Amino acid sequence: MSSAVRVCFVCLGNICRSPTAEGVFRHLVADAGLTDSFEIDSAGTASYHTGDAPDVRARAAGERAGITVNGKARQFLASDFTRFDYVIAMDFSNQANLRRLAPDHEAATKVRLLRSFDPAAAVNAPIPDPYYGDEAGFDDVLELCRVACHHLLAGIRAKHGL
Ligand code: 4NP
């Protein structure tokens, strides 16, 4: 649908945080009965994991929380700035890399940190990279994504009259 709001979540590898945020956001959008009003995707700033499924620990954390975490990793491209209205970075480094890739000022303004939508989060608060940590880190990521995505969806609904 051409009037859909198009949202892409972006981390480094597209196997842990951004597919988790994508799954959480899809779940919240479906619960709100708004699936047809959105196009939702995720990508990584790096290409190391292109083609890979989400990390097994991210999928397991999703299962524990009733969230489907799936997809196939891909790298975020400069051309994606024309495909998406919201480019949602997981941490400051992702945000900086995305802004550097942005072809113009308008594209750069589409890039926002996920936790910037959470009114309780500190300025520049990240979704921390769980890759080199333990299972609990993946549960923490999921919970941070759940809170921030709730506020992101509320903000988009208000802005777009959904
Ligand atoms: P993600 O986590 O950015 O949340 O998908 C990572 C995945 C892979 C690597 C780092 C972070 N890596 O170094 O391969």
Residue 42 pairs in a beta bridge with: 9
| Residues with a known catalytic role | 11, 17, 129
In angstroms, what CA-CA distances link 9 with 1, 110, 134, 147, 152? 20, 11, 23, 15, 12
Regarding the beta carbon of 80 and ligand 1, being less than 6 Å apart is answered: no
- Determine if ligand 1 sits within 6 Å of the CB of residue 11: yes
pTM above 0.95, yes or no: yes
Query: Consecutive sets of 10 residues in the chain, 162 residues long: mean pLDDT of each?
Result: 87 98 98 98 98 98 98 98 98 98 98 98 98 98 98 98 97
Structural domains of the chain sorted by starting position, each given as residue range(s) with its CATH number in brackets: 5-160 (3.40.50.2300)
Question: Quick one: CA torsion of 23, 153, 137, 84, rounded to 10 degrees?
Answer: 60
Task: Give nearest CA residue, ligand 1 atom 9.
Answer: 13
**DSSP assignment of 57-118:** HHHHHHHHHT--------B--TTHHHH-SEEEESSHHHHHHHHHH-SSHHHHTTEEEGGGG-
C-alpha 3/C-alpha 49 separation (Å) is: 31
Q: What span, in angstroms and rounded, lies between the C-alpha atoms of 53 and 16?
A: 10
Which pLDDT value is given to residue 1? Answer: 44
